[in-house]
Structure 1
């Protein structure tokens, strides 16, 4: 179960990185197309935005929920705590995403919170790795 815990944490952290790259691609793609005279609306197709939304609305939340459930069985010291923190930061991320549509400045907090989400998932992953490491002998 420790390996599953570690892999789920890694998927969350990596998913946030992929989301960041996807939204950056989306914005540069929109700028490139509008510079070429293409009119862009919210109904326009954009692969970066689609990937960002699929990961953020479907994939990462499901993985985070599975991560929280697995944490109860993984027997990692502090594992449940870090999984719960990761899940809480994810909930905040979703709230900030929807609030950012009404108040665009909140979108800045959504971006900053993404770093926090990747960080706490990475810390959880590290805790799992350290929990599975053999004990080091004491120095003489």
Structure 2
């Protein structure tokens, strides 16, 4: 189960990196589309935005999976790290919702995403060190 813990934590970390890439894609696509005269309104969406939304939900599911797996393995402080990941993901969802009304909070959404990647990476590293990998 230690390997499962390590893999899920690593997947979360990589998924957050893909989130960063997808939101950059979304921003540059909006800029290009606006420059091309595309109307950017409430019904506008692009690949980066769609991916970011769907993958964010997947990260939430993975975080819950990490928490479950943490109770089935003996990674030192593994439960605490998994709990922190879940907590940060919950904050992430709240920041996403609130940031649409108060866009400046989007900065915190971005920084919190990096914190999720860091804690998940630390969890993966802890599991790898214990396994001697």
Q: Same fold (TM over 0.5)?
A: yes
In structure 1, runs of 5+ residues without a counterpart are: 135-140
Q: Does 1:67 align with 2:73?
A: no
The count of aligned residue pairs is 133
Inter-partner Cα distance in structure 2 for 1:67 and 1:24: 27
Inter-partner Cα distance in structure 1 for 2:89 and 2:104: 19
- TM-score calculated relative to the size of structure 2: 0.96
Q: What secondary structure, in the 3-state scheme, does the structure 1 residue paired with 2:71 have?
A: helix
4+ long deviations beyond 2 Å = none
Q: What secondary structure, in the 3-state scheme, does the structure 1 residue paired with 2:39 have?
A: coil
Inter-partner Cα distance in structure 2 for 1:51 and 1:41: 19
Aligned to 2:22: 22
Which residues in structure 2 correspond to 1:1-140 (within 5 Å)?
Answer: 1-56=1-56, 58-133=57-132
Inter-partner Cα distance in structure 2 for 1:65 and 1:42: 32
Aligned-pair CA distance for 1:38: 1.2
Which stretch shifts more, 93-102 or 47-56?
93-102
Inter-partner Cα distance in structure 1 for 2:128 and 2:91: 26
Inter-partner Cα distance in structure 1 for 2:131 and 2:40: 50
